[in-house]
Amino acid sequence: MEEKKRETITSRVLVIGGGLGGIRTAVDLAEAERTVLLVDRARTIGGLMTQLDRTFPTNNCDLCTLAPYLSEGSHRKRIEILTMSTVIDITGEKGHFNATIQTAPRYINQDKCTGCGICYEAFPDCVHFDPGLDHRAPTCMRYPQATPQAFSIDPAACHDIEALVNVCPAGAIVPDDSGRHCQISCGAVVMSPGAALFEPTGLDYLGYDAFPDVVTSLEYERLLSASGPTTGQLVRPSNGRPPEKIAWIQCIGSRGIQKGAAASCSSACCMFALKEAIITKERFRQDIETTIFYMDMRTFGKDYEHYLARARDEFGVRLIRSRPHSITQAEGEEGLILDYTSETCTEKMTEPFDMVVLATGFRIDRETAVLAEKIGIELNEDNYPVTAPFNAVATSRPGVYVAGTFQEPKDIPETMVQASAAACMAVRDTAPAAADDTEIVSLPPERNVAGEEPKIGVFIGDCGEDNGKGIDGEQLVAYARTLNGVIHAASVEQGCTRVLMEAIRQAIDEQGLNRLVIGGGSPRVSETAFQELMRQAGLNKYLVEIANIRDQAAWVHGHQPDQALQKAKELIAMAVGSVARARPLVDKRLPVIKEALVVGGGVAGMTAALELAGQGFRVYLVEKTAELGGVARFLKQTLEKHDVQSFISDLVYRTRTEKRIEIITAASIVDHSGMVGMFKTEIVNDNKPARRQIVHGVTIIATGARPNRPAHYLLGSSERVMTQLELQERAFARPKEVAAWDNVVMIQCVGSRTGDNPNCSRICCQAAIKNAIKILEINPEARVFVLYRDIRTYGFQEKYYQKARELGAVFIRYTVDVPPEVTEVNGRIDVSFIDPIMNREVTVSADSLVLSTGLIADSSTNKAWSSIFKLPLTDDNYLQEDHVKLRPIDLPVPGFFVAGTAHAPKTITESVTQARAAASRAIAILTKDSITVGAAVAQVDGSICASCLICVRACPFGIPFINADGYSEIDPAQCHGCGVCVAECPAKAIQLMQFEDDRILAKLEELFERTVA
């Protein structure tokens, strides 16, 4: 029976919700050769992202962030998208589910609709389009990249349905369309339906119902957005005039503050308020006054503390720690009046503002809760899913996984990581898809352009405000037309969209273009899409060059339009000069070694290794110490009271007994070469002098971070001073000793958020609260004082903060300028600090002082192995991911992924999630027999090579060798394309394809010799 079931396991995964979480899950699954049915109840996929203007921490345009996921990449062939649909029932069990899906009528045949918009122009009332500020309005085609690219009709709003049908040139309107039910089988389900936002209606003191200039954060994003109701012009909804003074009020509908608010912290609001304030100043006017009223500034993510510092110091965003009491309006006046108390609560303040933005938090709406109940997953008191201990993506129903803001409030990078982790779990329950006949994407044969004069087309994309801000697109187009080889130049209103793609495609055909220059955003985001377009147009994909006029001209010279235009002209001229000399190139395909190297044997490393082994791949797990387990070995319980020790023991046992994992302890990495699919890494074992070489297709780095132990506040010199880690150990090992303590003081941010370590250690607030609760459970009479700067109990951690306060813990704020002072007096610890409410110095004589010292990257070890692997580190020596939002688990060297605290401080459960996400990304490579690795490789011209051996010595990967004919040879399958040999070769006998000397020189000539008018 078991055998039979296994045979019938389907390759299909049902993904509910097509926001960023659902899309990322679907893409990962497709890359791991699973088929995906992605259902979304909205008319287009994209979720919340389609409504945001730009997103932190990189502040780029969101539609551009989504674009790579929406483009027709080859792996998207395994993803079927069903919009206006939702799941109404799921029966069966893991591996063998049956889902019933209901689809509402669209009254448009999606296959026929070309998105031309004629129906909307002729019958705007029947074709939903303009949502105004309402993000929930039943819109479609809200933005140019909308997927699917098809309108929808509201027949009830149409008076002449026949005329509407006739207006469509494609015959796509189906007036008698009706709703449908369908049944599908699937092996796993991933729910990523997102979260709704708190409705501030009815809270009269906030004036949301009464005053148009009081808006929610999402409405403010709509106002900023080029696809919003004001086409990106920041104006007051009440009078259409630009605001001079804007206030943000945090924690609306979060942290249990208002009636109906969720108990959790919404995690993303502090950062998105800072972002909105920065963008307001950056994009509109520096002198617009922006003030954020907050309770605790929760910038706990990787490098988010820098973002906060930039907002405050570089952009002058005013931060006031206070909860405004009410928003009113004086009779006959247009301005809004905010009443609040000063930070010390001693003064009543009144201040006028033009607009107020309410940072409304996440909550689960009724419809989603009902769906979750139907699917049969357990929900918590706020209707978020209850997930398994140490597995934040596994619900109470086996085979049903969750990701994104539906699981817990979170931001984009964390949504992306969790989505990949959910994909990893779903891969376990499904089988790879059989060879799929839809796989052959029919592309026209490549036109041979050899011998043709360059016929270059230049397209200047105007991504709303991005390029448009400081750059006159028309002048740029006129200038491009004067450049040699350019036979067509055009400004395309909506950059990086299908409309643009279609326009370019048409121009290639009509004008016979053989090369393209795109003046737009970063090639990292859009290059693949334009390369795909070239292939579809029958041209070699390397005959396109992208001039990044958005980042390198519009953004850096945002307030200097003349300089921005000048720089953009130079960038376009350089790209034209270079592309004119571009040669058609052929991508390399490399076989994949289906084995993985995992470096680091802590929680993250073991989890990643087990996931990979579970998929049938051999794993080498290299650990530098003699034991597996890492820092978690010293932890007893999580904040949620999950038993860490039994979790670790089980993980170690499963790792040790998994036959596909080879554990190599007491070992270090000493050498590394090769490329994705075929790496070679050398290790030495402390006990064996001989080196050992491991060959592997992918590498996961999970080397962790170490508990910080700065010599502050008598740590190391007094018995009574300890870290949170040491306190937990003592509380479990010697509870009687802890029970005897009357006064305990904890100091937060010791060694974090300081000059030498500016970032937040993320884990310390929850650790202090966990231990404060533990002490108060052991001795309810104890007095626990927590001296903090901001309490950062994000997400569900907030309820434990409330609990600690209910149990009697006292939280007292200190500022970085006036930190607590600590002295040892008669064997006790005196801690003095300023109480901000009384504005007086207070001294507590403590039985013990507990320091929240957080985590710190092991700088010397990390520097050593990162230089062997050629991986960049951040300023504080954590691994730098390839792209914070698009590729938060991928490292810049293809085939390398990061998991756990090697990336940044995080909790055990977060490390486990990231480990699964890293495994998912690695599986995408390992499942393939061969992979395409681009064409940028070094090529030797043997006729001028002097066999001087300089390239042989210079190559960091040891690839060049002198061949039997006596000249240097470089195996394209092994070359990393770093260009070191090219720079070193004295005979100029080596060229780096895609960056050949003549192309670089052409760029320089354009820059220096051409008079750029």
Ligand X SMILES: Cc1cc2nc3c(=O)[nH]c(=O)nc-3n(C[C@H](O)[C@H](O)[C@H](O)COP(=O)(O)OP(=O)(O)OC[C@H]3O[C@@H](n4cnc5c(N)ncnc54)[C@H](O)[C@@H]3O)c2cc1C
**Site residues, ligand X (CB under 6 A):** 16-22, 39-42, 45, 47-49, 52, 55-56, 86, 192-194, 197, 217-218, 221, 268, 272, 275, 368, 371, 404-405, 410-412, 415
Closest chain position to ligand X (CB): 19
Residues 6+ apart with CB under 8 A from 688: none
Nearer of residues 274 and 912 to ligand X, judged by Cβ: 274
Shortest distance, position 596 Cβ to ligand X, whole Å? 28
d(CA 735, CA 737): 5
Residues 6+ apart with CB under 8 A from 256: 262, 263, 798, 802
Nearer of residues 371 and 731 to ligand X, judged by Cβ: 371
Shortest distance, position 253 Cβ to ligand X, whole Å? 11
Nearer of residues 56 and 796 to ligand X, judged by Cβ: 56
Nearer of residues 48 and 433 to ligand X, judged by Cβ: 48
Nearer of residues 18 and 577 to ligand X, judged by Cβ: 18
Shortest distance, position 304 Cβ to ligand X, whole Å? 10
Shortest distance, position 301 Cβ to ligand X, whole Å? 8
Cβ contact 669:683 at 8 Å: yes
Q: Is 841 exposed, middle or buried (CB count within 10 Å of its CB: 0-12, 13-18, 19+)?
A: exposed
Shortest distance, position 708 Cβ to ligand X, whole Å? 27
Shortest distance, position 86 Cβ to ligand X, whole Å? 4
Cβ contact 277:311 at 8 Å: yes
Task: Give Rg (Cα) of the chain.
Answer: 30
Beta strands in 814-906 (DSSP E): 821-825, 828-835, 840-846, 848-851, 855-856, 896-898
Shortest distance, position 84 Cβ to ligand X, whole Å? 9
Residues facing residue 828 across a β-bridge: 825
Nearer of residues 16 and 32 to ligand X, judged by Cβ: 16
d(CA 631, CA 707): 8
d(CA 386, CA 394): 9
d(CA 771, CA 727): 7
Q: Helix, strand, or coil here: 381?
A: coil
Nearer of residues 279 and 715 to ligand X, judged by Cβ: 279
CA distances from 181 to 37, 85, 111 (A): 14, 9, 19
H/E stretch holding 737 reads helix 735-739
Shortest distance, position 193 Cβ to ligand X, whole Å? 3
Shortest distance, position 829 Cβ to ligand X, whole Å? 41
Three-state DSSP string of 913-969: HHHHHHHHHHHHHHCCCEEECCCCCEEECHHHCCCCCHHHHHCCCCCCEECCCCCEE
d(CA 189, CA 400): 5
Shortest distance, position 364 Cβ to ligand X, whole Å? 10
Nearer of residues 56 and 617 to ligand X, judged by Cβ: 56
Nearer of residues 6 and 180 to ligand X, judged by Cβ: 180
> What are the percentages of helix, strand and coil residues in the chain, rounded to 5?
30, 25, 45
Residues 6+ apart with CB under 8 A from 695: 593, 595, 674, 678, 679, 680
d(CA 170, CA 117): 11
Shortest distance, position 42 Cβ to ligand X, whole Å? 4
d(CA 752, CA 764): 9
Nearer of residues 51 and 607 to ligand X, judged by Cβ: 51
Nearer of residues 408 and 890 to ligand X, judged by Cβ: 408
Q: What does the block give as tokens for 713?
A: 């506040």
Cβ contact 895:976 at 8 Å: no
Shortest distance, position 307 Cβ to ligand X, whole Å? 10
CA distances from 447 to 132, 538, 582, 774 (A): 46, 6, 14, 72
Nearer of residues 365 and 996 to ligand X, judged by Cβ: 365
Half-sphere exposure of 374 (CA within 13 A, CB side): 15
Shortest distance, position 642 Cβ to ligand X, whole Å? 24
Nearer of residues 296 and 411 to ligand X, judged by Cβ: 411
